[in-house]
Structures are given as structure tokens and as C-alpha cells.
């Protein structure tokens, strides 16, 4: 029996021999970091690939979130989602701002625009939604609220590399969007990330902030951080960009396979493609209705592990239940019924570009047979 270890994700690794010429170039240049040739090239190629105007590379996907809040000079309270990776809320904390949690939509797990206005106070200055699993938020409804209340919108688009709404990059909505290129993400530079903004002035400001605030050799204009991407990882990103379309096509095929094989399983829900959206198929979450399925999510999660299949409970626990945030009024479970339910129902199944069809079948058989 084929019982190899399956994890939720496996990194997109380009052929090693193709990486060597990039390294040779870096060695020839003797330029390892600080806006080198690879860095400049990757910014240009990503802007083109993603269909955005201004992009700045970062050393990971957390620092662009922190820097976005700093660059937009956000104060007071920031409305955000508990159904995300902790970095989303941590970025608010690092700016000494107050996160305010609002519940999510049951269909997507994205921040629910219908619930935002009730959480707005005179201290609210920004919204920080997340395109969970790469499914776009209701960007029009969110922008309407932001315009009405004069709020900035920062999208955590860590999952949304390459996602489009009616042909338009999802990164072009809101004031700033951020990406993560961590090894577990659909497109990776090992560690890495980026920030997308919509004016040359803002990009300039961001580029100063990610380089200690240096605006010139002898001038520091703000207390910036060091969040520069180095040449080796930029080169890795350039090479991986050649493979990303193929990787996303494979993920789509795997998603369709899962969907067709799981459609008759009682008590197991999964997400469908959204109208007009170009998806990246970055995750394949299932939501287990324990009563109808006959087993709890955690029982299924443990059962999968006995078959050497390691799913991930993204997102469980909710950010709002972690120690730094659990005492907030907005963190109360009564305030977040939908997110709380999704968090106890969800398992993200293995999905990555070179996941074999027989491995998908193996996962599905365990879910179907329940033993």
C-alpha cells in the first residue's frame, strides 16, 4: 500500500540546475542585497505578472502588514478578522493600535461587510480584511463602508497571489495589499513578501520604511525597519515565476478532483469557484458538520494522521482566542459565532503542484470510509 507522508503543502521548488546560473550571476555581481539586479528585476516582473503598478519586495509577509499601517499613519482602532493567521492581528499590535474583531461570512470565511459598521467608533481609522484561501472579499461593499466613514483599507492578500476579479488583480483594491511568499504559499521565495500600493509617492515612502527609513545616504526620514529582500531569494523568485502558471493549473486540477470525489459525502462542505474570479487554488478547506458526517472534525483530523495524512486546521484556534487578544470585548465568542463555527469545522487537505492523483484518492478514501 502506498502510505507515504502527505502534508498540507509542499514547496514549489524549481529545478536545481536552473538555479545555478542565477547564483553565478550574483557571484559575478558581488551584490548580495540592497536593491540589486535580481531585486529590481523581480519587482518589474511581478508587477507585470500580477497586473499591478507599484510593488515593493519584503523579507517576509508580516513586515509589509506592519509597514502598511505605519505608512498610512493609522491611529486608534483597526477593524479586522479573527479568522486568519496570527500575523494579521500582530501587525496591528506592533503599531500600538487596537485590533477590533468582526465576524466573517459563513460562505467564504472573509470579513463580513454587513457587520463592519456596528463595530465602527470615533477611533476607527482602518479596516484590515483578509482574502481567506485566496477567495476575494466583497471588495465593493468594503470600499463603500470605507468611503462613507473615511477609513483606509489594507488587505492581507497573503493567500491571493495571482487572484483576479473580472480580470482585475485583487491587489488593486483598497489602499494597500500585502503578499506572503513563505515556503508554504502558492508562490514562494523561501521567505519573502511584498506590498502593493497605488502611487509612486507611496511606493517611495514604503521603500524608505523597509530600509531603516533611509531616504538618502545621510538622511533618515522615519523610524523604518530592515525588511529588504536579498538577491538570492529574489533570484529564487524570478525562477519560480516561470513555474507558477503550471503550478496553479495543477492545483486547479487537484481541486476539481477533490470536488468531484467529495461531492456525495454527507456532512462535508467545500468551497466552489466564485463568479468572475480567477482563482489560485491555494488551499482546499473542507468543513465537517459532525452531526451529518458522524464524526467530529478533530476525530477526522486524527484519523487522517493515522494514515500519514497531515491536514491543517486553518484557522483554528481563532486569533481572538490567543492570549494577547482574548480579553478584548470584540474577542468574545458571542461576537464571533460564524468564525467560531468555521474554526471548529475546518480542515485544509493536502494540496500542492506535484500532489499525485493517487494521493488525492487516498485522502478521499479515508474521508469516505471513516476508518
Ligand X SMILES: *Cc1c(COP(=O)(O)O)cnc(C)c1O
Total residues in contact with ligand X, by rule CB under 6 A? 14
Q: Does 158 bind ligand X (CB under 6 A)?
A: yes
Q: Hey, is 29 helix, strand or coil? A: helix
Stretch in the footprint of ligand X (CB under 6 A) among 55-63, 135-143, 320-328, 357-365:
55-63
Measured CA to CA, the distance from residue 137 to residue 128 in angstroms comes to 11
Nearer to ligand X, 169 or 186 (CB): 186
Q: Does 130 bind ligand X (CB under 6 A)?
A: yes
Among 77, 58, 101, smallest CA distance to 197 is for: 58
Measured CA to CA, the distance from residue 78 to residue 152 in angstroms comes to 9
Nearer to ligand X, 61 or 82 (CB): 61
Q: Which parts of 276-315 interact with ligand X (CB under 6 A)?
A: none
Of 9, 60, 80, 335, the residue at the interface with ligand X (CB under 6 A) is 60
Of 26, 77, 80, 159, the residue at the interface with ligand X (CB under 6 A) is 159
Q: Does 56 bind ligand X (CB under 6 A)?
A: no
Of 22, 54, 83, 85, the residue at the interface with ligand X (CB under 6 A) is 85
Nearer to ligand X, 87 or 196 (CB): 87
The C-alpha cell at 199 is 502611487
Sequence-separated contacts (24+) of 257-264 with Cβ below 8 Å? 257/357, 257/360, 258/284, 258/349, 258/351, 258/360, 258/363, 258/364, 261/360, 261/361, 261/364, 262/286, 262/364, 262/367
Distance, CA of 313 to chain centre: 15
Of 6, 39, 61, 367, the residue at the interface with ligand X (CB under 6 A) is 61
Q: Does 195 bind ligand X (CB under 6 A)?
A: no
Nearest residue (beta carbon) to ligand X? 61
Measured CA to CA, the distance from residue 148 to residue 348 in angstroms comes to 36
Q: Does 64 bind ligand X (CB under 6 A)?
A: no
Q: Locate cell 492545483: which residue?
A: 251
Stretch in the footprint of ligand X (CB under 6 A) among 154-162, 164-172, 241-249, 283-291:
154-162
> What is the CB-side half-sphere exposure of residue 31 using CA atoms within 13 A?
13
Q: Does 180 bind ligand X (CB under 6 A)?
A: yes
Q: Locate cell 491611529: which residue?
A: 75
Sequence-separated contacts (24+) of 321-326 with Cβ below 8 Å? 321/82, 322/86, 324/93, 325/89, 325/99, 325/101
Stretch in the footprint of ligand X (CB under 6 A) among 70-78, 155-163, 277-285, 335-343:
155-163
- We find the least distance from the C-beta atom of residue 24 to ligand X, in angstroms, to be 28
Stretch in the footprint of ligand X (CB under 6 A) among 151-159, 160-168, 250-258, 339-347:
151-159
Distance, CA of 95 to chain centre: 20
Residues at the contact surface with ligand X, assessed by CB under 6 A: 60-62, 84-85, 87-88, 130, 156, 158-159, 180, 182, 193
Amino acid at each position: 500500500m502506498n502510505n507515504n507522508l502527505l502534508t498540507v503543502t509542499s514547496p514549489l521548488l524549481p529545478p536545481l540546475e536552473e538555479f545555478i546560473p542565477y547564483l553565478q550571476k550574483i557571484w559575478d555581481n558581488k551584490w548580495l542585497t540592497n536593491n540589486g539586479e535580481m531585486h529590481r528585476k523581480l519587482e518589474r516582473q511581478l508587477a507585470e505578472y500580477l497586473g499591478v503598478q507599484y510593488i515593493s519586495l519584503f523579507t517576509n509577509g508580516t513586515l509589509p502588514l506592519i509597514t502598511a499601517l505605519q505608512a498610512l499613519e493609522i491611529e486608534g482602532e483597526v477593524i479586522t478578522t479573527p479568522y486568519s493567521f496570527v500575523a494579521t492581528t500582530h501587525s496591528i499590535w506592533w503599531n500600538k493600535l487596537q485590533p477590533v474583531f468582526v465576524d466573517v461570512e459563513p460562505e467564504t470565511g472573509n470579513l463580513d461587510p454587513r457587520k463592519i459598521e456596528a463595530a465602527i467608533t470615533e477611533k476607527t481609522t482602518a479596516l484590515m480584511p483578509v482574502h481567506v484561501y485566496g477567495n476575494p472579499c466583497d471588495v465593493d461593499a468594503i470600499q463603500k463602508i470605507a468611503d462613507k466613514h473615511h477609513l483606509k483599507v489594507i488587505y492581507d492578500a497573503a493567500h491571493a497571489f495571482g487572484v483576479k476579479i473580472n480580470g482585475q488583480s485583487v491587489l488593486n483594491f483598497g489602499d494597500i495589499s500585502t503578499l506572503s511568499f513563505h515556503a508554504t504559499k502558492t508562490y514562494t521565495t523561501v521567505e519573502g513578501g511584498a506590498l502593493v500600493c497605488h502611487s509612486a509617492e507611496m511606493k517611495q515612502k514604503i521603500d524608505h520604511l523597509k530600509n531603516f527609513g533611509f531616504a538618502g545616504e545621510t538622511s533618515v526620514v522615519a523610524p523604518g525597519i530592515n525588511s529588504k529582500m536579498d538577491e538570492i531569494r529574489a533570484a529564487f523568485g524570478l525562477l519560480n515565476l516561470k513555474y507558477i502558471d503550471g503550478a496553479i493549473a495543477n492545483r486547479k486540477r487537484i481541486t476539481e478532483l477533490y470536488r468531484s470525489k467529495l461531492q456525495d459525502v454527507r456532512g462535508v462542505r467545500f468551497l466552489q469557484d466564485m463568479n468572475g474570479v480567477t482563482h489560485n487554488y491555494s488551499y482546499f478547506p473542507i468543513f465537517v458538520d459532525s452531526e451529518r458526517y458522524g464524526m467530529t472534525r478533530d476525530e477526522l483530523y486524527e484519523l487522517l494522521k493515522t494514515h500519514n495524512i497531515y491536514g491543517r486546521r486553518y484557522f483554528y484556534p481563532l486569533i481572538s482566542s490567543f492570549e494577547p487578544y482574548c480579553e478584548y470585548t470584540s474577542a468574545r465568542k458571542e461576537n464571533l459565532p460564524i468564525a467560531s463555527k468555521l474554526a471548529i469545522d475546518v480542515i485544509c487537505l493536502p494540496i500542492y503542484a506535484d500532489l499525485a492523483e493517487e494521493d488525492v484518492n487516498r485522502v478521499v478514501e479515508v474521508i469516505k470510509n471513516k476508518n
